[in-house]
Chains A and B, each alone.
Chain A
């Protein structure tokens, strides 16, 4: 089975900072990688699909890149409303990464 790792598991950053989260697959998954945002007490929300495609209505400060086994999710300028846990998901077996909790410093 393909395993997903995410790093870091948590981070604190200041408003306006650039935030980067990485997701690594245990084997090549092409670009079959999605990113979700989950705010406390809420359902997850799709942000990025196919590694780099921004879901309709999602602010352009969010972006994704990568292919194969290594992927990156970036918030170009962190906003207070971005406080959440972010999960990657690979589509081959629908497995989610362990998540990255993002806080404001």
Chain B
């Protein structure tokens, strides 16, 4: 059974840092690209960052570029999101999501339960 379990969320002051982790199990983690998606309270889904299976390709949403860093450790079956210079508008539930692909395109086929990040003084 595919499982994705996020951790590391919490309350942080504006300008602070936080590192999120996503522990994967039930599939060959090193074969899949992964993503972080967030959802501010009462708002819609916002894609945050993408990392390919080998970490060779990385993308960020403009809203987090230069502040957030995505990484992975395939030996530990883990995905990370280092978040620096946090702002109030980064307050959200952060989900990790596995990227599955058909012959033509890709989609997020498994999601974790999410971890809440609150940026407030």
Contacts and interface: CB of A to CB of B under 8 A. Distances in A.
Main secondary structure on chain B at its contact with chain A? strand
Nearest to A55: B109
Interface of B: 35, 37, 44-47, 50, 59, 95, 100, 102, 104-109, 111-114
Contacts of A99: 44-45
A64 B88 CA distance: 37
Contact of A43 (B47, B104, B111): B111
A95 B108 contact: no
Contacts, number: 57
Contacts of A53: 102
Closest 4 CB pairs of A and B: A43-B111, A94-B47, A49-B107, A96-B45
B32 to A, nearest CB: 14
B95 A95 contact: no
Interface string A77-91: 000000001010101
A82 B95 CA distance: 22
A32 interface: yes
Interface residues of A, number: 24
Given A43-B111, A43-B112, A99-B45, 15 more contacts: A34-B107, A36-B45, A44-B37, A44-B45, A44-B108, A46-B107, A49-B100, A49-B105, A53-B102, A87-B44, A89-B45, A94-B59, A95-B47, A96-B45, A97-B44
